[in-house]
Amino acid sequence: MAKDVAVSRAKRGAQLGKLIAGQAVRGAGLTLAVVRDTDEEHLARTERALASAAEDIVTVLGSMKGLAMKAGQLLSMFDVLGVFADERLPPGQRERFQHKLAELYDQSAQVPFAQMRAVIERDYDRSLDEVFAEFDETPLGAASIGQVYRARLHDGRAVAVKVQYPGIDVAIRADIKNLALVMRLLRGVAPALADNAILRELTAHFAEEIDYRTEAANHALMVEMFDDHPFIRIPAVETELCTARVLVTELVAGLRFPEIAALPDAERDRVGEILMRFYLGTMLRERCFTGDPHPGNILLADDGKVVFLDFGLIKRMDEAAVAFELDAVRAAAEYRAADLRAFFVDYGLLEQDSPATAEQCLRLIHEVSGWLLVDAEIRVAEDAAANAVLAFVDPRRGYFESWRSEYAPAEHAFARRVEYGTLALLGKLRAGGNWHRIGREWTYGEPPRTELGVLEQDWLTRRR
C-alpha cells in the first residue's frame, strides 16, 4: 500500500534528485565495468542495471504522482534507450525496460481507499452509499493525479469514477516551481526549449487539470464532437456528478493497448489509422485536439470502435496556426525548401538571419515528420518517435546548433507533442499504412482513399 503523496517542493525535488543521482552512479559503474567484462558479462550486467533502473523509476515516480509521474509516462512512450543503446544490447532488454516503465500508466503505487473515499464524500457532502449503489474499492488504474474505480449508479448504469489524490494540487504546484528551476537551467543549453511561453502554457494547463470540472466540460465537448461516429467512441460523462475532485463517466469495456498490440497486422493497421484520424485529424479539421495520446487512454470495444479516455488537456488552435501547419506540410511534401523556410520566417518560428538553410529546414522536417510526407506504405518502427524527438536535441544529428535558439510557439510545441505521441503509439502497434494519403484529406482537401476515410466522410456529411 502506498504512503501519502509527498506534497512539499523540497521533498519532491529531493526524491527526483536522488533518483537522477542513483541512475548516474549506476551508469558510471556500468561504463567502468565494460573495460573488464566479456560480452556475456556485459550483457548480464546491463540486464541487471536496466531492470534496477526501471524499478527505481516506476517506484519513485509512481509514488510521487503529479507531474513527476507524467514525466515517467512520457519517458515510457519513447524508446530513447533504443536510440542511444550500445549496438550489442539485444532488443529484448530494451523491451523489458520499456515494459516496466509502462506500468506507470495504470499500475503505480495505490493510495488507500479510505483516503480516496474521504475525497469523494467531502466533495459530495454525503455518504458514498447515497451516491452509488455499488462501489468497487479496488482501483481499475492509478493515474498521475487520481485513481479510477468501477461503480454502479442507483439506476443500474455502470460508471468509471476518477478520484483525485488528496493533496495532489499542492504537489503539482510544487512540481511547477521545480519545473521553472529546470527550465532556467536549460536556458543556457536550449533557449527555445526553456522559452517562458511554453512554461506558462504548461503551468496554466496543470492548474486547470487539477479541477475535474474543466475536464468534464472538455469531455462533454468531445462526446458532442464525435456523436454517432462510425469508429470512434467517447464514453458519456455524468456532468451532474462531476466535482472539482471527482469525475464520473460511462464505464466501457474493451481490449487494452497491450492486447491491441498483439492483434494481427490488419487489425493493428486499422486501429493505427483510427488513432491518426482522432489525434491529428481533429487538430487540423476541428481546430482543436486532445493533447495526451498514450496507451492508457485507448480501448478497443467489441463493436470495433476505438474508445478514447481522459480529456484533461484540450488545446485549441487559431486559424493562423492551422494555416501555418498546412502550408509547412505541403511545402515539405512537395520539396519546396525555399518556401518552407520562408513560412518559418514569416510565422516567427525562424529568424531571417538564422544559420538554418532552406535545405536544412527541409531535411529536418523530413527526418522528424517523414512518415506524413512520403507517399508510400510505411510500417512505423517502435523507435520512430524517439528518433524524431532526438533530432532536435542530439548534437550528433546536425540540427541542434542551428535550432537551439529558435522560438517555438506554445501551440506548436503542443502540436508536436501530439504528433510524436501519435507516432509513438503507431510504433508500439507496429502499424502500417500510407499515412501521407490519409493526411491529404486535411492538407489538400482530397477525397478519402481508405475505407475508414469514406465512412468518416459520410458521417461528416450527415453531421453537417
Instruction: Supply the pLDDT for residue 177.
Output: 67
Report the amino acid identity of residue 271.
V
pTM: 0.75
- Do 94 and 128 lie in a common domain? no
Instruction: Supply the pLDDT for residue 201.
Output: 60
The DSSP call for residue 381 is P
Instruction: Supply the pLDDT for residue 287.
Output: 87
Going by pLDDT thresholds of 50, 70 and 90, the confidence category of residue 39 is: low
* pLDDT of 46 strictly over 60: no
- Do 144 and 224 lie in a common domain? yes
> How many whole angstroms separate alpha carbon 232 and alpha carbon 308?
8
Asked whether residue 279 is domain-assigned, the answer is no
- Do 184 and 324 lie in a common domain? no
Q: What is the pLDDT of residues 53-92, one digit of tens each?
A: 555 555 544 444 445 555 555 555 555 555 444 444 556 6
Contacts of 270 (CB under 8 A, 6+ apart): 452
Instruction: Supply the pLDDT for residue 92.
Output: 63
Q: Give me the chain's average pLDDT, please.
A: 79
Going by pLDDT thresholds of 50, 70 and 90, the confidence category of residue 20 is: very low
> How many whole angstroms separate alpha carbon 456 and alpha carbon 420?
23
Under 8 Å between Cβ of 94 and 427:
no
* pLDDT of 37 strictly over 60: no
CATH code of 125's domain: 3.30.200
Asked whether residue 275 is domain-assigned, the answer is no
- Do 146 and 177 lie in a common domain? no
Asked whether residue 376 is domain-assigned, the answer is yes
Instruction: Supply the pLDDT for residue 71.
Output: 54
Under 8 Å between Cβ of 122 and 109:
no
- Do 156 and 227 lie in a common domain? yes
Q: 3-class SS at 315?
A: strand
* pLDDT of 134 strictly over 90: yes
Q: What is the pLDDT of residues 214-259, one digit of tens each?
A: 999 999 999 999 999 999 999 999 999 999 999 999 999 999 999 9
- Over range 101-125, report the average pLDDT: 80
Least confident of 43-52, 280-289, 412-421: 43-52
The string of DSSP codes covering 10-67 is HHHHHHHHHHHHHHHHHHHHHHHHHTT--HHHHHHHHHHHHHHHHHHHHHHHHHH-HH
> How many whole angstroms separate alpha carbon 255 and alpha carbon 261?
10
Instruction: Supply the pLDDT for residue 383.
Output: 84
Residues spanned by the domain of 194: 49-108+171-209
Helix axes 358-373, 337-347, angle to 10 degrees: 100
* pLDDT of 145 strictly over 50: yes
Asked whether residue 361 is domain-assigned, the answer is yes
- Do 390 and 449 lie in a common domain? yes
Contacts of 438 (CB under 8 A, 6+ apart): 273, 276, 277, 448, 449, 450, 453
- Do 151 and 89 lie in a common domain? no
Of 215 and 411, the structure prediction assigns the larger pLDDT to 215
- Do 387 and 368 lie in a common domain? yes
Asked whether residue 263 is domain-assigned, the answer is no
Q: What is the pLDDT of residues 361-401, one digit of tens each?
A: 999 999 889 999 999 999 999 888 888 877 776 666 666 56
Of 14 and 350, the structure prediction assigns the larger pLDDT to 350
The three state secondary structure string of 407-451 is CCCHHHHHHHHHHHHHHHHHHHHCCEECHHHHHHHHHCCCCCCCH
- Over range 131-149, report the average pLDDT: 90
- Do 89 and 128 lie in a common domain? no
How many C-alpha atoms does 464 have within 13 Å on its Cβ side?
A: 7
Asked whether residue 419 is domain-assigned, the answer is yes
Q: Report percent pLDDT > 70 for the chain.
A: 66
Instruction: Supply the pLDDT for residue 32.
Output: 43
Instruction: Examine the fold and report which residue of 186, 209, 232 is the final residue of a domain before the chain moves on.
Output: 209
Instruction: Supply the pLDDT for residue 354.
Output: 87
C-alpha cell at 288: 482543436
Instruction: Give how far Cα 162 sits from Cα of 32, 125, 152, 294, 333, Å.
Output: 46, 17, 13, 17, 43
- Do 203 and 217 lie in a common domain? no
Residue 264 phi, psi dihedral angles, 5° rounding: -60, 165
Instruction: Supply the pLDDT for residue 153.
Output: 98
Asked whether residue 122 is domain-assigned, the answer is yes
Q: What is the pLDDT of residues 293-337, one digit of tens each?
A: 888 889 999 999 999 998 988 888 888 889 999 999 999 999 999
Q: Report percent pLDDT > 90 for the chain.
A: 46
Under 8 Å between Cβ of 142 and 108:
yes
Q: What is the pLDDT of residues 155-213, one digit of tens each?
A: 999 999 999 988 887 777 776 666 665 555 555 545 555 555 555 666 666 666 788 99
Instruction: Supply the pLDDT for residue 28.
Output: 42
Instruction: Supply the pLDDT for residue 19.
Output: 45
- Proportion of the chain in helix, strand, coil states, percent, rounded to 5: 60, 10, 30
Going by pLDDT thresholds of 50, 70 and 90, the confidence category of residue 111 is: confident
- Do 444 and 364 lie in a common domain? yes
* pLDDT of 98 strictly over 50: yes
Asked whether residue 299 is domain-assigned, the answer is no
- Do 153 and 203 lie in a common domain? no
Under 8 Å between Cβ of 49 and 41:
no
Instruction: Examine the fold and report which residue of 232, 251, 270 is the final residue of a domain before the chain moves on.
Output: 251
Q: How many distinct structural domains can be found in the chain?
A: 3
Of 259 and 39, the structure prediction assigns the larger pLDDT to 259
